[in-house]
Structure 1
Amino acid sequence: MIQQFKNNHAIRATLLVLFIFLLLTGCSKKNTNNDLEFTFDNNNNYTGFKNAKKMSVSDAIKNGYYISENGYIVSGEDKWDEFVNKANDNTETQIRMMKIVEDKDYLEYIDFFYRDELYYAFSSNTSDSVKVGYKYLHVLEESKENDIKMFFIVLSNEEKLTYNQVMADLLSSQANDVNDSILVWGIK
């Protein structure tokens, strides 16, 4: 009976050690939207991409990113809606957008933040990501044929903007209206 107790105790101890080992080695930390850090260097440049790694679309989906592939939103609309709703409730929030263009081997991350009643966006493809806040986030859509929608995400200090204003400004040789804005486009 004492020998059986020792064997059961040894099995339990072995299982406990194995469980702890699996917990520590098998659960690598995901880089999710909640892990984004609103951090800056001495020159006030965003440093949140220093640990960003190229990843597959399936991994980005697992991490809860808002994903644009070849211009089309393919995942994360619910996460984007959550970001917008939290910001509308004046709650600090953040989300990472992953933009991929496969035929050009293009990858870009855009980190959006809402802090202290201002919106911020930083691109992984820009060397100069200085901290500049904007009062408003506009999601502007235009309906197209076959229920395809072109849209713009615009961070701006302009309270009122329309899809047509942004499109006209983009096509104009004297772009004025959205110059002091951050613009991201996509297709739904």
Structure 2
Amino acid sequence: MTSTFALLSHPDPDSVVAWRGSQPVTASRFLADVHALAARLPAGDHVFNACADRYRFAVGLCAALLCGKVSLLPSAQTPETVRQLAAFAPDVFCLHDDADCSVALPRFFYDASEPEPSAPLPVPDIPAERLMAYVFTSGTTGQPVAHAKTWGAMVRGARATAQRLGLADGRAWTLVGTLPPSICSDWKPR
């Protein structure tokens, strides 16, 4: 029997899952954005998500997961890092939200002008064993090392963190992250 985890754990379609400026984004809107992007992503099993907008980054990560693509998450976006990603996964394309993106990979522009959802979409269940991402070390001591992350491992890790922080009590919480991904990937609790 394959175990699955829901893409979102918010209780209803009107639950707020993110904020864009001063505007709340509901679960319904987030799911519509994820499904719309997933339907448009080009061929290729690997995605380098270079979206600078954090909401678009999250939508891109979930859209890739939804359609079975693996996100490549390096600690930097230098030309050398991009070259190494292309060597690691020759079919990789760059998902970006910058009209002036010059990443030396096939590029797919995330045009976020999607219509409002007409009806709430069901929250998809994702197999726990689905490969979600390769998270790369910085490579400061040599070649960056890829660490495979499955959806199940990410969900279990997020749930354990919520438990440790006292956020698993059934109330609605807002968590604000302020560290760049390169710092977060190397951070370890003391």
Q: Indicate the TM-score class for this superposition, using the shorter chain for normalisation.
A: under 0.3
Greater RCO (CA < 8 Å, at least 6 residues apart): 2
Structure with max Cα Rg: 1
Structure 1-normalised TM-score? 0.25
Instruction: Report which of the two has the higher share of strand.
Output: 1
